Amino acid sequence: MADKDLGVDTVVSDYHGRGGAHEDETNQPKDFPASPGSNNVFERYINLVAIVNFGFTLQAGWETVGLTLQYALYNGGPAALVYGAILAGFGSTAIATSLGEMASMDPTVGAQYRWSARFAQRYNEFWGLMQGWVTVFAWIVNVGGSLSILSNMVQGLVIFHNPDYQPKRWHATLFMYAFIVVPVLCNLALRRVLNTLETIGGICHVLFFITVITVLSTLAERSTTDFVFKTLTHDVSGWNNPGVAWCLGLLTTVFPITSFDGVLHMIDETKEPRRRVPRSMVTSVILNAIMQFAFAICVLFCLGDYDTVAASGLPLIEIYYAATKSKAGATVLVLMHGLIFSISLFNIFASVSRLVWAFARDKGLPFSNFFTYVHPTLQIPIPALLLVAFVCALLALINIGSSVAFTALVSLPTVALYISYFIPICLLTLRKLAGRHPQYGPFKLGRWGLPINFFSLVYIVFILIWVPFPPSRPVTAETMNYAGPLCVAVIIFALIDWFTTGRRRFVVPTGPIVIPEDDSEMEAKGHY
């Protein structure tokens, strides 16, 4: 197979294919960028500060905890928030570190699906195509989950200011459509100011955090220490077992710091990616995990009346209102969450459009030639961006037919993304155990590599067991969590694609290349 001769002295790359370079009509390697401005290459313009802030704001850890607080209050309660935040912080950091090592070996927009193809010891293209469909699906539904959270926030604010408002399912769909239009237009217009935008977003991410913590800690009534650290809610959702209830409440703390691989799909536009992208990914996860944990502790100590908060469709606004005694003040604090979340959504659209472009470039998508187009002036993969927007518009229709769409759209990207993390980490771990180490880049784990990889895999399996569980009992068609079945459906679809046309169509480069000592050397030659 394509990768069978990779040993300790080689690493796979984007530039050469199976047994050598894949040649096209111009006799150039398939993925070797012909010239700046062509529709096969992006301008490399994102600096270190911007790529760190890109990942930092994309996750929006503490903001997302606030906007999805209902999951933990419904299952697990305070104990799920506090100890779940600790577990999620360590687990996500381990996964990001494992992926960062791969990014340093082989920085590529395709990331997980490229690495799966390269580190598999057999059936490389099969693993690449399967992983490609899972990763693309994961990121598109991740956009849908973010849109759903913003839509729920808007509806919560409307109800808060107008108690007579009767929300309809189609209202949520319209709100989601509005939130689709804005980041798409921003992606078309704001690329040139992305460095500045990400810096502003990172600053606001921290300043808003300080503001919220200060307001709550100075104005809100205090909960007891026992309530914060010892209360485990397991008598509300129907899941009476305390352990099960705690595990189901993990969604609130796991989902916010899941999308750390978003920076990987911006690699082609990042300067010195072998060094900067892994550091950005790990740094953003650690900072968001710390802020998420601190925010969870602060919110629990300043929760106010538990029954009132838990009964709200947007618990966060009731917490802020109880502290400030002002509807305007509570609204402003919630909108701080919404603003950073909107910047996060802009980043997610940018990231997933590049991923779709890369998968199309490797013939993973139908009509791949159409979706590989990059506008020469805007430097945006416009067809890929519009495809993501269109699929998200279809996902928004779920709100009309299902009352549990919000739960599905939040848990679904968590499940799909964790599957996309599991496969390449598992394949690389097996290669390491077989003694067939690839050549490592500047970000390498050394003797800690295997322990971190093992911990990542165990943590991923644990999350994949619990996140797809139905949030309440008895389980009916209305209360079912469809995240698991939908992920299985995507895998079945990918299998069908492989056995019909995929194995002939999909070609992923897996040839060896020597890693340069300095990224700037490759940049100077135009190889990135």
pLDDT at 290 over 80: yes
In which band, very low, low, confident or very high, does the pLDDT at 132 lie, cut at 50, 70 and 90?
very high
pLDDT at 291 over 70: yes
In which band, very low, low, confident or very high, does the pLDDT at 464 lie, cut at 50, 70 and 90?
very high
More confident residue, 432 or 526: 432
Residues ≥6 apart with Cβ < 8 Å to 372: 39, 40, 357, 360, 361, 381
Alpha-carbon radius of gyration of the chain:
23
CB of 85 closer than 8 Å to CB of 420:
no
Residues ≥6 apart with Cβ < 8 Å to 496: none
**Cα→Cα distances 437→94, 170, 364, Å:** 19, 53, 27
> What is the mean pLDDT of the segment spanning 470-485?
81
Q: Tokens for 470, please give them.
A: 């139905």
Q: What digits encode the pLDDT tens for the residues 144-160?
A: 888 888 988 999 999 99
Please give the mean pLDDT across all residues of the chain: 83
Can you give the pLDDT at residue 302? 92
Q: What span, in angstroms and rounded, lies between the C-alpha atoms of 408 and 415?
A: 10
pLDDT at 522 over 60: no
The domain limits of the chain are 44-503
Q: What is the DSSP string of 248-291?
A: HTTHHHHGGG-GGGGGGGGGGGBSSHHHHHHHHHHHHHHHHHHH
Can you give the pLDDT at residue 3? 40
In which band, very low, low, confident or very high, does the pLDDT at 500 lie, cut at 50, 70 and 90?
very high
Q: What digits encode the pLDDT tens for the residues 293-343?
A: 999 999 999 988 888 888 888 899 999 999 999 999 999 999 999 999 888
Can you give the pLDDT at residue 334? 94
Q: What digits encode the pLDDT tens for the residues 412-435?
A: 888 989 999 999 999 999 999 988
Tell the CATH topology of 44-503: Amino acid/polyamine transporter I (1.20.1740)
Q: Collapsing DSSP states into helix, strand and coil, what is residue 512?
A: strand
In which band, very low, low, confident or very high, does the pLDDT at 85 lie, cut at 50, 70 and 90?
very high
201 membership: H or E segment, kind and range: helix 194-219
Half-sphere exposure of 177 (CA within 13 A, CB side): 11
Can you give the pLDDT at residue 17? 37
Which residue in this structure is represented by tokens 């690389």? Answer: 428
Identify the CA nearest to 341 among candidates 143, 157, 177, 173: 143
In which band, very low, low, confident or very high, does the pLDDT at 15 lie, cut at 50, 70 and 90?
very low
Can you give the pLDDT at residue 510? 61
pLDDT at 515 over 70: no
Can you give the pLDDT at residue 201? 87
Q: What digits encode the pLDDT tens for the residues 225-264?
A: 999 999 898 877 778 888 888 998 888 889 888 888 888 8
- Contacts within 8 Å (CB) and 24+ apart, 382-386: 382/188, 384/353, 384/354, 384/356, 384/357, 384/360, 385/184, 385/187, 385/188, 385/349, 385/353, 386/184
